[in-house]
Amino acid sequence: MSTGSIQARAEGWLGNNDVRLLIALALAIGGLYALFSAVLGFQLNGTVNTLRRVAFLSAIYAMLALALNLQWGYAGLFNLGAAGFMAIGVYTMGILTAPVTASPPGFGLPLPVAILGALLVTGVTGGLAALPAIRLRADYLAIVTVAFSEIVRLTFRAPEFANTRIAGVAFGTGGATGLSLPSNPIRILFYTDPAATAPAPNALGTAIFSVVAPLGIEETLVIGWAYVIVLCLCLGLLYWLMIRLGKSPFGRVLKSIREDQQVTQALGKDTRRFKIKTFALGCALMGLIAILWRLSGGYASPRMFKPIQTFYIFIALFIGGTGSPTGSIVGGALFASLLFEGPSFIRRVVAEYLQLSNAPDTLVGAIAELGTLDVTPLLAYSVQDVSISALRLMLLGIVLVYLMQRHPEGLLGHRKAIASSVDLSRQEPREDDNE
């Protein structure tokens, strides 16, 4: 292979220094939270745990944004039912892996088989849901999908399906109490019997635990970081697949559908079939990512799949910019680290150094004190535990308004992948210019 071809492939992979941008972003976020931890006086174990949680959520939301970008950014399919398809994937996997004698009972299948089955069920469900709705305009498609998502969530929550039997087959969703999932599969790398209550470490676990124990780092934290590394590898693989898909003939058809569906149909493409395939593939990916998310905790509940979850994914996608795989990762990381986790750390820093007390019971009472030019009651009210979710929503609203006014295409929306296989904006020099 010639040097020129190697350089061309390297430039294609780096894509305007995208990999360097993502590495710099990860280091910046890690440095910011390390500083937060130092300000709050965390020990090493607490600092490492903070970085683990931020990295975990950043990888999850980056992958979810990539999956949604396939539907919305590439094909223009406005899917507001992402949380419902995530629930289908997680619950299908949980039911397939639950022992037959458990309560609620399952099918007792191995985890890899159950994950493949969950992908199949989620993809088929997404395709079937798209059949009647795919002909609708974007706003009506959004209404149909968000309604479908709520139907799924309420079905899993219904007591009638908590422990039921259909056609002689016993299974259950656990109802409102939720469903137990298999333990973290990464534990098999460190323990001889990962399912045991007090498992004994294997050779690898013994070697690693003996190194980190003097530093005050717990075993569970080592397992958590190992799982984060696996998630980052999955994120890198999904990122590469999305780039390859976007440059493939299939991806170019999707982007042409997004730009002008009638012109694409005039070129002889069955746009309806392409949209159904894309919708099903995106839903299957959402189900898989949700499985990776919930396996870390070993538990799933209907309240984890409320419509607000879909809203969070869209916020992450809008921040980075639709149509850009790199923008999806940037948006997911910024959303998870700054907007989702940020308010909690802001509350802790403010409470640590301002020593606020006597917080008003209501927001109206806190705002009323501003008339005396005293902002302390408002700060005290804002940093309460019960106010964090409201503070998070306020920040999301402010960010959305700012993006719509200043950057309506997102931070990297100007790099949206085009339908053409070549850059049409590049002007080739004319022969007259060389004379």
| Cβ burial, residue 400 (10 Å; 0-12/13-18/19+) | middle
- On the question of pLDDT at 83 being above 50, the answer is yes
Q: Which of 154-168, 311-325, 341-355 has the lowest mean pLDDT?
A: 341-355
Comparing C-alpha atoms, which of 341, 334, 291 is closest to residue 316?
334
* Reported pTM: 0.88
Mean pLDDT along residues 5-24? 62
Inform me whether the pLDDT recorded for 424 exceeds 60.
Answer: no
Q: Mean pLDDT lowest for which of 38-47, 128-137, 299-308?
A: 128-137
For the record, the structure tokens of 342 come out as: 């940020």
Among the residue ranges 37-41, 319-323, 418-422, the one predicted with the least confidence is: 418-422
Whether 201 has a pLDDT exceeding 80, the answer reads yes
* 164-173, 200-209, 389-398: range with lowest mean pLDDT: 389-398
Average pLDDT over residues 323-337: 94
Closest CA to 59 of 234, 243, 223: 234
Q: How confident is residue 116, by pLDDT bands cut at 50, 70 and 90?
A: very high
Note whether 212 and 386 are within 8 A (CB): no
Provide the percentage of residues in the chain whose pLDDT is more than 90.
Answer: 54
Higher pLDDT, 178 or 140: 178
Q: Which residue has the tokens 């049409």?
A: 424
For residue 11, what pLDDT band results from cuts at 50, 70 and 90?
very low
Paired sense of beta strands 169-171 and 164-166, if any: antiparallel
For residue 374, pLDDT over 80 is answered with no
Q: How much is the pLDDT for 315?
A: 94
